[in-house]
Chains A and B, each alone.
Chain A
Amino acid sequence: MMRGALRVGLSVVVLLGLTGCAGDFRYNWQWSILTCTSENIDAGCIGPYFYWILQGLWWTIAVASAAWVIAFSLGSVIGILRTLDKPILVVVPFVKSPIYFRTRWIGTSKGIITVDVGWFLHGFANIYVTVFRNVPLLVQLFLWYFVFPELVPHDAGMWLKRDLPFPEVSTAIFCLGLYTASRVAEQVRAGINSISRGQQYAAMAIGLTPVQVYRYVLLPVSFRIIIPPLTSDFLGVFKNSSLALTIGVLELTAMTRQIEEYSYAGFEAFTAATVLYIGVTAIVMGAMRIVEARVRIPGMISLQAK
């Protein structure tokens, strides 16, 4: 598998090289620009640029990983909330109602007011997914970075603008995490819904509470089923992290552009970035494959025998 990714990576390099040689495309490849040091300053190099690329790579990995932690945990919760189909009634303490009324989410009986918390949670999860999945990621990024601090109370806004540590990086992680969470939520929901109703019934009849049904039956099975689509979202986080350059995060793509601006050696820099992106995602893919093989449900997900 890893060999496969390596093969793809190499062919990309070869392809770029070939296009460089073919037809009217004449370009004088200067790979040494990536490794030269500040001693060649007269040649217009303040590198070593490769060090810049590594720095960018570090931020890409940091932003993407942190965003994935948010996306995975929040997305799982939202996805589970979206599958709630029963009312979760909570009695409002200390408040008595003299009148009898009943709506979809709140009702009274014997003067005790009960609220269907499940209805609110389910509704919140639905709205969340609708909003975060349907607004372009770039727009979300700008909204969080430029608009959000103006919307919150003045002091909080000031804190966001002035005291938030690593403001660009934090915002990028936060935004990317929330966006990807909406995608993860959909995978989780689909995974849970794909499990036959009988499994739930069987578990409940045996004596499991609804929470235990999720804990011991629905989640263990659904999370294993959705590993392949989750892998796509995990890869998506790495690729989408490149948008963070628009609010000033010096991640891999931003660094590459910077090298181009300094050295005019854009092709070399972008080739290096491409290879690194593929390398990182190949590692993620490989890791997820291993996870998938380790936890796979016997007889359910057919992995090709290698």
Chain B
Amino acid sequence: MLTLIEIDCRYNGHAAVRGLGMHVTPGNLVCLLGPSGCGKTTVLRAIAGFHALSEGEILLKGRQVSRPGFTLPPEQRHLGMVFQDYALFPHLNVAENVGFGLRAIPQTEKRAVIAELLDTVGLGGLDRRYPHELSGGQQQRVALARALAPKPDLILMDEPFSNLDVEFRERLSGEVRDILKQQGITAVLVTHDQNEAFALGDKVGVMHEGRLLQWDTPYNLYHEPACRFVADFIGQGVFLNGTLVAPDTVQTEIGMCKGNRAYPWGKDAPIEVLFRPDDIVPDPDSPLRGKVTQKAFKGAEFLYTLQLPTGGHVLSLFPSHADHPVGATVGIRVEADHLVAFPRA
């Protein structure tokens, strides 16, 4: 459906995107995730045709739409776009906004399409309202309906839920995923919020400084980060220094840990090992003890910051009823299926 081959984008002289490639299969929902300024929005604009390429090419349904020196105009790409600030047309009401992209079809048919789309996004009956009379979430639903109306091949979403309240954000992103999946629409979403990316994306690409660092499923991004930046950026966790004592065994201050793979570095190589909060589990009988220095109640669970006897800190998830005061000592055990390590810099 969409293929990006080694694209480079320049923005006022500096390279905003460097050597980025990705492939999106039809019906898939993919996310580009990264901190602000990482170039993810530039990629989206390049796909939409708002931004020219300086290297590489973009293929849409097998057709070359961008290459250096040629950019197929956005209006000929048959895309839908949804923006962070909704970008509804303020002088048009909801029905007119949704029907905006339907210029060539007869009025009666148009009205039917609009009504159907508004039902799909859960806004039936609001067709005479103006954008300012709607809440942010409703406006974004209208924007989605407007983008869906011309039956685009691909929908591009630029931080679509960032302006919404947190709880509402999750609900709407779930609904949007359902709608897109139902209609079998391919979509690329750009966000800096990993919860959103994980909730929506079949595949997620993590970007940093214009490069795509890892292109993988949310599960693998969390459990098998390909580099130090991804490991840091995705989820919580700490790195503990250690050394390699056998190809698949590391020695850290939390003890000897056996990984699920052979590491490529030689014996005694200095490494850093990633421990996620869910890798450290409570075990009252364990000889390994940690002192609670911070705790955060998350409802279903506690996130404890524990100080090891050797001085290092780890994060650990405890069940919700295991309420230990700060300063208490608790028994813990490492239970990591995926032991991810990086050479120490």
Contact = CB atoms under 8 A, between A and B. Distances in A.
A136 interface: no
B131 interface: yes
A106 to B, nearest CB: 16
B216 to A, nearest CB: 28
A206 B101 contact: yes
Given A205-B156, A207-B78, A224-B91, A298 B85 contact: no
Contact of B87 (A201, A207, A224): A201
B131 A205 contact: no
Which secondary structure characterizes the binding site on chain A?
helix
B78 A201 contact: no
A198 B81 CA distance: 10
B132 interface: yes
A254 to B, nearest CB: 43
Given A221-B90, A221-B91, A207 B75 contact: yes
B100 A298 contact: no
Contacts of B149: 206
Nearest to A202: B87
A300 B89 contact: no
Given A196-B87, A198-B83, A299-B133, A208 B48 contact: no
Given A205-B79, A205-B80, A207-B101, A300 B132 contact: yes
B80 A206 contact: yes
B75 A221 contact: no
Contacts of B150: 206-207
B147 interface: yes
B289 interface: no
A204 B71 CA distance: 14
A201 B90 contact: no
Given A207-B75, A217-B89, A299 B50 contact: no
Interface in A212-263: 212, 216-217, 220-221, 224
A299 B147 contact: no
B291 interface: no
A209 B150 CA distance: 15
Given A201-B48, A204-B74, A205-B48, A297 B90 contact: yes
B130 interface: yes
Given A207-B75, A207-B78, A209-B75, A299 B130 contact: yes
Interface in B251-280: none
Contact of B131 (A203, A224, A299): A299
A201 B83 contact: yes
A40 interface: no
A301 to B, nearest CB: 10
Interface string B23-64: 000000000000000000000010011100000000000000
A206 B49 CA distance: 12
Interface residues of B, number: 35
Contacts of A212: 75
B203 interface: no
Nearest to B101: A206
B146 interface: yes
B91 A203 contact: no
Given A201-B81, A201-B83, A299-B132, A206 B100 contact: yes
A199 B89 contact: yes
B100 A203 contact: yes
A224 B90 CA distance: 11
A201 B100 contact: no
Contacts of B50: 201, 204
Contact of A199 (B45, B48, B87, B130): B87
Nearest to A109: B69
Contacts of A210: 73, 75
B244 to A, nearest CB: 51
A198 to B, nearest CB: 4
29 contacts: A198-B83, A201-B50, A201-B81, A201-B87, A202-B83, A203-B100, A204-B49, A204-B50, A204-B74, A205-B147, A206-B101, A206-B149, A207-B76, A207-B78, A207-B150, A209-B73, A210-B73, A210-B75, A217-B89, A220-B91, A221-B89, A221-B90, A221-B91, A298-B91, A298-B130, A299-B90, A299-B130, A299-B131, A299-B132
Given A204-B48, A204-B74, A205-B81, 15 more contacts: A196-B85, A198-B87, A201-B45, A203-B89, A203-B100, A205-B80, A206-B75, A207-B75, A207-B76, A207-B101, A209-B73, A210-B73, A212-B75, A216-B100, A220-B91
Interface of A: 196, 198-199, 201-210, 212, 216-217, 220-221, 224, 297-300
In the A-B complex, the 6 residue pairs with the closest CB atoms = A299-B132, A198-B87, A206-B101, A205-B81, A204-B74, A298-B130
